[in-house]
Amino acid sequence: MKQTLQLKLGQQLTMTPQLQQAIRLLQLSSLELSLEIQQALDSNMMLELEDEEDHFEAPDLVAPEYSVAEYEAEESDFGGDDWESSAPSTTEDIPEELPVDSDWEDLFDSTLPQGAPANPNDDDASFETASAHQESLQEHLLWQVNLLPMTELDRRIAHAVIDAINDAGYLEIDIDEIKDVVVRDTQEAVLIEEVVAVLKQIQALDPAGVGARNPQECLLLQLRQFAVETAWREEAIRVCEDYLELLAARDYPQLMRRLKLSQEELRQVITLVQSLNPRPGSTFGDSKTEYLVPDVFVRKVKSRWKVELNPQTIPQVRINPYYASMIRRAENGAANNSLRTHLQEAKWFIKSLQSRSETLLRVATAIVERQRAFLDHGEEAMKPLVLHDIAETLSMHESTISRVTTRKYMYTPRGTFELKYFFSSHVATLLGGEASSTAIRAVIRKLIAAENVGKPFSDSKIASILLKQGINVARRTIAKYREGMQIPPSNERKQLA
């Protein structure tokens, strides 16, 4: 076999470590980016956070070989556009009246020692620490049981019953199983009647309806705790005992015949039943509110929509001038080579951060340009938009647009939305145009909100109404959109007129 040499021309994309880092930073959320920056600060001595009030001067222990400017990363040129957009500034204007030469203690009270917990009665304490722990349903029930006069065996039964109550407030296991658990733990004989008696005591505790074994029992427990003179109490109990299926099916004519009530009287009974809580344990638990931090701000300035990045989500990182000045030009020692490596990695990291910010700003600006009608008029004016449209406008790949728009949020006068919210499929109109699925959902929601509650629109009726407006949507598509908005079907939306 003869060996030969051949020359070939070709193109291929090499995923360098720098490119991999830029792509990875691009898809991170603001919280993940903060963690990534902190890890970089911890591992790279050349990186530090920019502090406007910090005027760091390198000591005269080592004469600088290089100036810091030689190590600054080159800025990528992404081109201009016609839209007003601004990247986060590295400095902020400080008001003249701010006493910058004052100490912290001159402006704020600092009476607590460092590391001491905040006073819960202090109005200045963080609202996030005001309710660090919310009482669980089990804790609330145990606190009440401990106040009841019980024998030791009954208290063991009560603890077993409370352990079997789920977060919604329902008893998950049978009475026989609770009895077996208590017998196994106490090695004593336990009667079913004793377990039932303790269960009834727990069902009389707060919240009303707790310890029920099904929704029907939960509603009845709550109704029976109402005062006897409560209006329509007896009728509501009868509905829940005998005609709950008719109420669920919204068969109001049958209910009026069975209960011998007029339409107005039945409405009062249903109002009382609807005031009950079918999940009595839902108000307890360690639920924590999560807040979204927008990556982009959009506001209207002189009839034009202006797009800005949120500077708080992009910590400003720079190269430490002192460590950069320690690098010597001709030295090849291990320490000097380590400094050079850290410096190069710091330059790549800063450049990747700048690329991420600029790409995010460009994509957000292009989205706002396409969806100006939504910002001006609302969801019904949302235009169809896919990733390819933005990718073609910015000469980027669709995968890049997908990474940028994932878990990034935009604050607008109409609310805070994920960037992916502005992308939606389209439906052809009778006039040859297109309507976005978001706009169609908004129209469906508007039609249902204005419908006659006594005779709500079916999915077929909504489809025919949209067809008259020039939007040809199939009935099954209407059903899919309606279910996606968690709107029940027409038979479940029916109410007494």
For the beta carbon of residue 161, count every other beta carbon within 10 angstroms: 24
* One domain for residues 436 and 483: yes
Q: Could you give the 3-state DSSP secondary structure of residue 206?
A: coil
Does one domain contain both 197 and 230? no
d(CA 422, CA 438): 8
Q: What is the pLDDT of residues 1-28, one digit of tens each?
A: 678 888 888 776 666 777 788 888 888 8
Domain boundary among 250, 283, 316: 283
Q: Is residue 320 part of a domain?
A: no
Residues 197 and 219 in one domain: no
Q: What angle do CA 328, 330, 335 make, to 5 degrees?
A: 50
User: What's the chain's Rg over C-alpha atoms?
Assistant: 33
The Cα 239–Cα 235 span in angstroms is: 6
What is the spatial distance between Cα 489 and Cα 495, in angstroms, rounded to a whole number?
Answer: 12
Q: What percent of the chain has pLDDT over 70?
A: 80
Q: Do 488 and 437 lie in a common domain? A: yes
Residue 128 domain-assigned (yes or no): no
pLDDT digits (tens, 9 = 90+) for 17-65: 777 888 888 888 888 888 999 999 999 888 998 874 454 444 443 334 4
291 falls within a domain: no
- Distance of alpha carbon 376 from alpha carbon 373, whole angstroms: 5
Long-range contacts of 46-49 (CB under 8 A, 24+ apart): 46/319, 46/320, 46/323, 46/324, 46/339, 46/342, 46/343, 46/345, 46/346, 47/317, 47/318, 47/319, 47/320, 47/346, 47/349, 47/350, 48/317, 48/318, 48/319, 48/320, 49/315, 49/316, 49/317, 49/318
What CATH number corresponds to the domain at position 488?
A: 1.10.10.60
Helix, strand, or coil here: 250? Answer: coil
Q: Which of 241, 260, 283 is the endpoint of a domain? A: 283
Residue 264 sits in the same domain as residue 237: yes
448, 457 in Cβ contact below 8 A? yes
Asked whether residue 253 is assigned to any structural domain, the reply reads yes
Q: Report how many domains make up the chain.
A: 3
| 477, part of any domain | yes
Position 365 in a domain = no
Between CA 398 and CA 402 the distance in angstroms is: 6
Q: Using DSSP bridges, classify how beta strands 304-309 and 85-86 pair: parallel, antiparallel or unpaired.
A: parallel
| Residue ending a domain, choose from 283, 301, 320 | 283
- In whole angstroms, what is the distance from residue 317 CA to residue 73 CA? 12
Judge if 189 and 240 occupy the same domain. Answer: no
Does one domain contain both 224 and 187?
A: no
The single residue listed with the structure tokens 């100036």 is 67
- Chunked mean pLDDT (size 10), the chain, 497 residues: 80 72 85 90 89 48 41 39 39 41 43 42 47 77 92 92 92 91 86 92 93 94 93 93 90 91 92 93 73 90 92 86 81 83 90 92 94 91 90 91 92 93 79 79 91 89 89 89 90 79
Q: Kindly state whether residue 241 falls inside one of the protein's structural domains.
A: yes
Are 360 and 309 in contact by the 8 Å Cβ rule? The answer is yes
Q: Range of 459's domain?
A: 426-493
Is 229 within the bounds of a domain?
Answer: yes
User: What is the reported pLDDT for 330?
Assistant: 63
